[in-house]
Amino acid sequence: MPYYFYYFDWTIILLIPAFILSLWAQANVNGTFRKYSQVYNRRGYTGADIARRILDMNGLYQVRVERVSGNLTDHFDPKTNVVRLSEATYSSQSVGAIGVAAHEVGHAVQHAVGYAPIRIRNGIVPFVNVCNWLSMPILLIGVLFAGLGSFFPSLIDVGIILFSATVLFQLVTLPVEFNASRRALQTLRGQCLLDEEEMRGASAVLRAAALTYVAAAVSSIMSLLRLILLFGNRRND
C-alpha cells in the first residue's frame, strides 16, 4: 500500500478556514437577503419590473423575464435568452429582490456587449465539467496503484492538473460576478430607480452574494494546495 496512508493527514487543516468561510458566507447572504426582503422600495417596483426596465434600457427587448421555482435560484440563461427570477424575487417589491434582479440582468448585458470574462467562462464550462468528472477517479487510481510502476504516480499529476481547472473556473467567475453587480448598482443609481437609502440595502445584498463566490474560490484554491502538498513530492520519498 502506498505511503500516503501511513501518517496523519495534517493538510486537512488547510480546509478548515475555507469551510468556515463558506458557511459564514452562505449564512450571511441568506441573512442579508432575508433582512432586505422586508424593506420595500417606495416606487412599488417588483423584481420583474426592474429586470424588464433595465433590459429595455439596454435595447435587449428580445430577452424574456420568467419566474422560476426555488429560493435564490435567479439566473440568466444565455442559451434561451431568458432572465429567470425566483419566487422570492419576481413579484417582490423589496430592495433585496430588486438588487438580485438587476444583477441577473447585468449578466444579460455582459453577453450582449461581449464582456470578455463571461465569454471565457462560458467557453471553458464543457472543459471544466470533464475535468471535474475525471480528476478524482484518476487521482484515486494513481494513489491506490502507485507502487505498481511509474505510470500510476504520473496519474496523480494528471488528477491534480485536471482539478486545477476548477480553480481556474472559480477565479474567472469572480470578475464576472463583480462586474454584474457593479453594472446593476450603477444602473439603479444612475436611472434613479432606487433612492440612496434603498441603494444601501441593494448594495448590501449584492456584496453578501459576492462573498459566496470569493468563498468558493478560496475553497478550491485550498483544496488544490492540499493535493499538491499531499502528493506533489512523492517521488522524493
AA identity, residue 77: D
Measured distance CA(190)–CA(202) in Å, rounded? 14
Q: Contact 226/12 with Cβ under 8 angstroms?
A: yes
AA identity, residue 179: N
Q: Contact 97/202 with Cβ under 8 angstroms?
A: no
What residues contact residue 55 under an 8 Å CB cut-off, 6+ apart? 61, 63, 65, 83, 105, 108
Which ranges in the chain belong to alpha helices (H)? 15-36, 47-57, 87-90, 95-113, 116-144, 151-190, 196-231
Reading the block at residue 69, the C-alpha cell is 421555482
Annotation says 104 is catalytic: yes
CA Rg value for the chain: 22
- Given 87, 104, 196, 198, the catalytic residue: 104
Q: Contact 84/66 with Cβ under 8 angstroms?
A: yes
Question: What is the longest distance spanned by two Cα atoms in the chain?
Answer: 70
Known catalytic residues are 104
